[in-house]
Structure 1
Amino acid sequence: MASHKELLRRVAARMEKHFAALGDEELEVVKVSQLVTIAVQDTQRRTVARTMRRTDELQVLMDHYYDVVTPAVAAPGEGRFVFDGRRVKGEHTPEDLNMVSGDKIDFFLDLMAG
């Protein structure tokens, strides 16, 4: 298990990468009511959560899940994300799907017949 110092270093590196990607764009203040925390849970009960704007595309959460959980298990694009019986697409937003904070998206790895 990583030490507290190592975890802080990783978080700082991710934040630096994120803010560098913003470039010269102005950072906006986001009201708490505009934010939701959504989780992805797979069949092995591994869970990854992310807080995002209600209007952000869910592709951000899907990419985060692939980065954190599945590098050794699945490549990005493999598997299905499902919420409330419907397949989730990257361009969907929490607002599109009427999601509230605490909702979970299920992830199912595609099975290959041999």
Structure 2
Amino acid sequence: MADQEASGENKPQPKQEGQVINLIVKDQQGSEVHFKVKSHTKLEKVMKAYCDKKAIEQTAVRFVFDGQRVNPQSTPQNLGMEDGDIIDCFMEQIGGSS
């Protein structure tokens, strides 16, 4: 038993689900806002914080990651986000037909 303790086999492994990653939200003008979030945090928290910082309504913008619109209930872990990934923020456009 002393051999197991000396080799560190009984030590618990750190959990990966609480891992903190850096995400960047980038708007159409190229302005970036950096966020540190846990990989299991809902992205709606990032979206709200971004909109509050920029003083814009959440309904006026769309968030896109890897070409797909981001669901506010998704987490970085669900979307396979890694440290330093960029979420694009676009102004909502209405219309387009004549």
TM range (shorter): 0.7 to 0.9
User: For 2:42, which of 57, 60, 85 is the aligned residue?
Assistant: 57
User: For 2:68, which of 86, 89, 107 is the aligned residue?
Assistant: 86
Q: Matched residues in 1 for 2:95 and 2:19: separation?
A: 43
The corresponding residue for 2:9 is none
Q: Residue 66 of structure 1: SS of its match in structure 2?
A: helix
In our comparison, the structure showing a higher alpha carbon Rg is: 2
Q: Matched residues in 1 for 2:68 and 2:50: separation?
A: 18
Which whole-Å deviations, capped at 9, do the CAs of 1:56-101 have from their partners, x for residues lacking one?
Answer: 00111101110112x1xx3122211000011001101000010001
Query: What count of residue pairs does the alignment treat as equivalent?
Result: 81
Q: Matched residues in 1 for 2:92 and 2:59: separation?
A: 10
The corresponding residue for 2:27 is 42
Q: Normalising by structure 2, what TM-score?
A: 0.75
Would you tell me which structure has more strand in proportion to its own residues? 2
Please, which runs of 5 or more residues in structure 2 have no aligned partner?
1-14
User: For 1:97, which of 71, 79, 83 is the aligned residue?
Assistant: 79
Q: Residue 46 of structure 2: SS of its match in structure 1?
A: helix
Q: Matched residues in 1 for 2:37 and 2:84: separation?
A: 12
Displacement of 1:113? 3.5
Please, which runs of 5 or more residues in structure 1 have no aligned partner?
1-29
Q: Matched residues in 2 for 1:92 and 1:100: separation?
A: 14
Would you tell me which structure has more helix in proportion to its own residues? 1
Q: RMSD across aligned C-alpha pairs, in angstroms? A: 2.0
Q: Matched residues in 2 for 1:86 and 1:110: separation?
A: 15
Displacement of 1:42? 0.5
